[in-house]
A and B are shown apart, each in its own frame.
Chain A
């Protein structure tokens, strides 16, 4: 894997971000859970980038991905854009507290942030776009998050090393 040596971990995470975005906005009839899994992987990658590789260019990234997710999945701009930008803004204020936490505490907060992010997106979709809340789809998100969370954290840690 000579090619991987040329890229730093931030670039690798950005590639994961692009791939997971592309797969999550194209539905596959036979594997609907693939979309859900990559949708969650996108969120995990974005949160990881914000937590461990914060740079102000992430605002531009969150802005672009937020708009594209909203337009491709909801046909109106709103839920994802607001959520991504709010997460970034919140992180700036809470960064000094997060630094003091242990690695286990950060991983716990990482998971909680993911679940809250998914929930807020659904709530905003209800409020802004009149989308009907589907508890089964949220439960499905939660279940997939539980399954893929540890392997994803392991993968990201490997990438960072």
Chain B
């Protein structure tokens, strides 16, 4: 019979045990108290959690991840024929739009020259890929494989080809953490394109919709209106696409974001000059 593996603990006196327990409790309260500050110890722990712990947890959860990817691939494969038909129709539609867009772009350039208007001067800091996501429990966060070594700083905006994804809330040397638009704790100041109605949007908590928490002069936008960042809070650059008004109630309205938060692989970190 195989012998049982048992860890032989050191015989520590109760005084030392109590000292260790009291030290841990005291250290915990100090950490909670100073967790929101910019202390070296807190930053060090955050750095370790994102650069050491996340890769380890990813390696341990790799079988579940592989299963998830397999199911995803299988679902994609099943809908391939149907998707192909839709894409062919989309190509025809987009070709018509492309012709129109080229005409509008030329016209836009000429009009800008005539008005002497300036652009929103978006600067691309870094294109980063997603390491892992923590958007099921509590907050809606994603971790990226670029940090302050790549000049990514706190409060920079994260976008993708569809529009605004979120805001950088934490950076370490090689990682950064982005809070998604759908998080209930993130507020963005937006305006509707057609009426120019200013409002504040926050995540509804269901991971799908954004809901208005404040609407200037209580003017409600129209259903289907496109909403962009207003740039008034000086956090997000102006005119970044956010979403479309999906539902209007008496005192609030709901916005469906353009970004598909379930399919984010790469994001671009941008800042306005």
Measured CB to CB, the residues of A under 8 A from B are 2, 5-8, 11, 18-19, 21-32, 34-36, 39, 55-57, 59-60, 63, 66-68, 70-78, 81-82, 85, 89, 125, 128-132, 134, 136-137
Contact = CB atoms under 8 A, between A and B. Distances in A.
Given A19-B60, A68-B49, A72-B49, A81 B138 contact: no
Given A19-B60, A85-B24, A6 B138 contact: no
**Which of A7, A59, A129 has the largest count of B CB atoms less than 10 A from its CB?**
A59
A100 to B, nearest CB: 24
**Pairs of residues from A and B, 4 with the lowest C-beta to C-beta distance, nearest first:** A22-B60, A77-B35, A22-B57, A132-B184
Contacts of A26: 57-58, 61, 64-65, 132-134
A72 B131 CA distance: 13
Interface string B1-21: 111111101000000010011
Interface in B215-271: 262-263
Given A22-B60, A30-B71, A31-B68, A73 B35 contact: no
B31 A67 contact: yes
A24 B137 contact: yes
Chain B, interface SS category:
mixed
B54 interface: yes
Contacts of A11: 5, 7
A73 B5 contact: no
A131 B31 contact: no
A72 B205 CA distance: 18
A26 B57 CA distance: 7
Contacts, number: 146
Interface of B: 1-7, 9, 17, 20-21, 24-25, 27-28, 31-32, 35-36, 42, 45-46, 49-50, 53-54, 56-58, 60-61, 64-65, 68, 71-72, 132-139, 141, 169-170, 177, 179, 184-185, 205-206, 262-263
A27 B134 CA distance: 5
B70 to A, nearest CB: 10
A1 B2 CA distance: 11
A72 B54 contact: yes
A74 B138 contact: yes
B28 A82 contact: yes
A7 B169 contact: no
Contact of A5 (B4, B56, B135): B4
Nearest to A128: B32
A28 B64 contact: yes
A77 B31 contact: yes
B12 to A, nearest CB: 8
B65 to A, nearest CB: 7
Contacts of A78: 32, 35
Nearest to A6: B5
Contacts of B56: 22
Nearest to A11: B5
Contacts of B177: 75
Contacts of A131: 138-139, 184-185
**Which of B3, B5, B27 has the largest count of A CB atoms less than 10 A from its CB?**
B5
Contacts of A68: 49, 53
